[in-house]
Structure 1
Amino acid sequence: MRAMVYRGPYRIRVEEKEHPKIEHPNDAIVKVTMAAVCGSDLHLYHGMMPDTRVGHTFGHEFIGVVDQVGPSVQNLQVGDRVMVPFNIYCGTCFFCARGLFANCHNVNPNATAVGGIYGYSHTSGGYDGGQAEYVRVPFADVGPSRIPEWLDDEDAVLLTDAAATGYFGAQLGDISEGDVVVVFGAGPIGLIAARSAWLMGAGRVIVIDHLENRLEKARTFAYAETYNFVEYDDIVVHLKKITDHLGADVAIDAVGAEADGNLLQHVTAAKLKLQGGSPVALNWAIDGVRKGGTVSVMGAYGPIFSAVKFGDAMNKGLTLRMNQAHVKRQWPRLLEHIRNGHLKPSEIVTHRVPLEHINEAYHMFSAKLDGCIKPLIIPDAA
């Protein structure tokens, strides 16, 4: 099959790769019909995540058609159109039984915190991802779900991570009716989080970023009030000024680990922008939320070498809530919102790129060229 293959930082290519096989009776093989490039993939692309191995295939957002099933698979049949959550989980362990699918105890021998993730570094289990023509899906009776006939493919593929994670970020904020919610980062997840905040009762939604095309999307898609932080000496001071000098009720860090910049900037946290190898966005969230408020963190953080203002969070009496999204848990409510016309995730998609040109998609997304906010990858495109 044809698949995206990692050859080192900033070096990816499409190569012939061995077709995945059924390795366990509960596996399925899915023929990928659509995938996406996530901001988290850029951490791998730039070589900033540990144990990202040459030869690995990225991609944790994908949908497809079931091509083969193992002998014990009962819930899927060949030909089913399915969406696959980025979490790989067993469904039966202590954590899965409590709906903490992202923390499954049985699928990742390399860590005790996170479960398995498709197409990420080997710290997440080393499973090949969906930026390919075919992908092996373990625990096929647990993770994948049939795509409703009424749901568009582009909406479905965003439900596998970006939409579910953004919604989860708003959910972690424990938003009460009328709350002021500030979202740091207007990438795909931040945009969905901002839009979702309204669905949860927010009275005011503010989005902060430094890219004008993203801020414009925050205004048109998420109906948010927007501020470009490079225009202010101190964005936290400005945030206090526009919230009666109290701060927001809820702050959502939708930035996470740094997706660009050089190694020195990552280690020293010297690049004071919305990039989280330095925890600048997280510290802004801690400083910008009112005393007794809530900070939601669902960005992907790796090793951090500079200080988080934990003492300030403690002294302000903040509630900090965070995790990887438990994707499938969000689907019933998200499908309801989409079907009722309250949310259409695919409105954030800006580019559709054939698999053969995926290196161009990564470059464009990484360098923020051509107004790129969310690129999709089409394996069968000419």
Structure 2
Amino acid sequence: MEALRFDPKTKELTFEKIPVPKIENDDDVIVEVAYCGICGTDLHILKGEFPSSPVKYTPGHEYSGIVRAIGSAVTNVKVGDRVSCDPQRWCTTCDYCRTARYHHCVEGGVENATGIRHDGGFAQFSKVKSRVVYKLPDNISLKQGALTEPISCIIWGLNRSFLPAPIGAKILLTGAGIIGNLWSAVLHHLGYRSVIVVEPSDARRKLNQRMGTGFEVMTPDELNLKIKNENYAADIAIDCSGNAKAIEQAIAALNYQGKLQIFGVAPPQARISISPFDIFRKELTVVGSIINPWSFPPALGIMEAMGDRYLDYYKLGIEEFKMKDVQKALGVLEKATAAKAVFAINSNLE
């Protein structure tokens, strides 16, 4: 089968032919991959900024497809089912797993996920455990199903942050890549309207506006002027950029008892400057949010309700590519002319 393989030693991503995976355990599932997204985490991995497999492997952790084979103990899906796959792995017996925090599992967690430590979805077929395979709702296409993983992370972000907040709450989103756009879609679907999206890229600001939410979209400089001239202050700020300067600006924009969620992935060496007095005086709260424990079922539920109004690729600024065109896809992301790139691996499965 065809696959994209990443060598962490040379930092090279190459298009190769490798064997099709086979059922080896009674809980294995073989999925023929239809679509697989390139995540911001993948970009960090390619740059050596995020831990991944020490040996050559197949990346890709946001994917959908059709079940083609199952182990003898699999009962939650059957051959022919349309599915999306949760990339997380966990041992079930460590203290974190036993206290409903499997995303911090000492043997699992994000660093040990499918597509990060183990072969993932940048391939025609993928082998995963049945417990991470979920049937798609009938009204969700395989193309949209590839968005389940990032939306499940947003669902966990909603749980980790401070929503549901009053509908009139002022919310600041920093970053209008795909995560900022998906946050915009979810917030708008939930009824929030007092939302400002801050993004330095003119192209990505336009992509966010394409969604038709009516949210204010502005540059960081325009936000500074709004804070100064209009005394604007956000009740909740959600950083989707992973950019230290954007996070500092978001902190400065918070109201008294304001809340900041660090959602975007910053490089490990990034640092921010914050005044402890401001945290004290304004009673600020800062939380982190990582991946998606217990979030796939509610993600599929909200996606079923959101439908084409919010999950349309064009509206979200998503472009499709063949795997062999990986350098073109990475170039589009580098230039920020698209919010996201998705590999249409077996698009004829729709």
TM-score range, shorter chain: 0.7 to 0.9
One-letter amino acid of the counterpart of residue 214, structure 1: R
- 1:321 equivalent to 2:287? Answer yes
Shift in CA distance, 170/25, structure 1 to aligned 2, threshold 3 Å? same
Q: 1:53 to 1:95 in 2, by over 3 A?
A: closer
Instruction: Give the counterpart letter for 1:136 in structure 2.
Output: K
Gaps of 5+ in 2: none
Asked if the contact 1:168–1:193 (Cα under 8 Å) also holds between the matched residues in 2, the reply is: no
- Give secondary structure in 1 for the equivalent of 2:132: coil
| Counterpart among 256, 262, 282 of residue 247 in structure 2 | 282
Unaligned runs of 5+ in 1: 109-113, 121-125, 257-275
- 1:59 match: 60
Aligned AA for 2:20? H
- 2:149 is matched with which residue? 160
Report the CA distance between 1:297 and its aligned residue.
Answer: 1.8
The answer as to whether partners of 1:169 and 1:193 remain within 8 angstroms in 2 is no
SS at match of 1:160: helix
Decide whether aligned partners of structure 1 residues 353 and 336 sit closer, same or farther in structure 2, where only a CA change above 3 A counts: closer
Distance, in Å, in 2 between the alignment partners of 1:357 and 1:17 is: 18
Q: In structure 1, which of residues 135, 140, 149 is the aligned counterpart of residue 126 of structure 2? A: 135
Q: Which residue of 2 aligns with 1:238?
A: 225
1:107 positional shift: 2.9
Contact 2:136–2:300 (8 Å) recurs in 1: no
Q: Is the 8 A contact 2:37 2:62 kept in 1?
A: yes
The answer as to whether partners of 2:91 and 2:105 remain within 8 angstroms in 1 is yes
Q: Secondary structure at the match of 1:343?
A: helix
Q: What is the 5 A alignment of 1:353-372?
A: 353-368=321-336, 371-372=337-338
Distance 1:219 1:168, change over 3 A: farther
Q: Aligned partners of 1:183 and 1:248: how far apart in 2?
A: 10
Counterpart for residue 16 of structure 1: 17
Relative to 1, partners in 2 of residues 1:289 and 1:342: Cα closer, same or farther, differing over 3 Å?
farther
Q: How does 1:1-382 map to 2 (within 5 A)?
A: 1-7=1-7, 11-51=12-52, 53-89=54-90, 95=96, 100-107=101-108, 114=110, 116-120=112-116, 126-138=117-129, 140=130, 142-161=131-150, 163-170=151-158, 172-174=161-163, 175-221=165-211, 222-229=213-220, 232=221, 237-241=224-228, 244-245=230-231, 247-256=233-242, 276=243, 279-309=244-274, 311=276, 312-326=278-292, 327-339=295-307, 343-344=310-311, 346=313, 347-368=315-336, 371-380=337-346
Structure 2 Cα separation of the partners of residues 79 and 92 of structure 1: 32
- Counterparts in 2 of 1:116 and 1:53: CA distance versus 1, 3 Å: closer
User: Cα distance, 1:157 vs. partner?
Assistant: 0.9
Aligned partner of 1:4: which letter?
L
Contact 1:240 1:246 survives alignment (8 Å): yes
Q: Aligned in 2, Cα 1:149/1:335: closer, same or farther, shift over 3 Å?
A: same
Separation in 2, partners of 1:93, 1:52: 22
One-letter identity of the residue aligned with 1:16: K
Q: Tell me the CA shift for residue 19 of structure 1.
A: 2.7
Tell me the CA shift for residue 80 of structure 1.
1.6
Residue 189 of structure 2 contacts residue 306 of structure 2 at CA under 8 Å; is this kept in 1? no
Distance across 2 between alignment mates of 1:180 and 1:360: 38
Give identity over the alignment, percent: 24
How many residues matched?
Answer: 340
Cα offset, 1:321, TM superposition: 2.6
Q: Relative CO higher for 1 or 2, CA cutoff 8 Å, sep ≥ 6?
A: 2
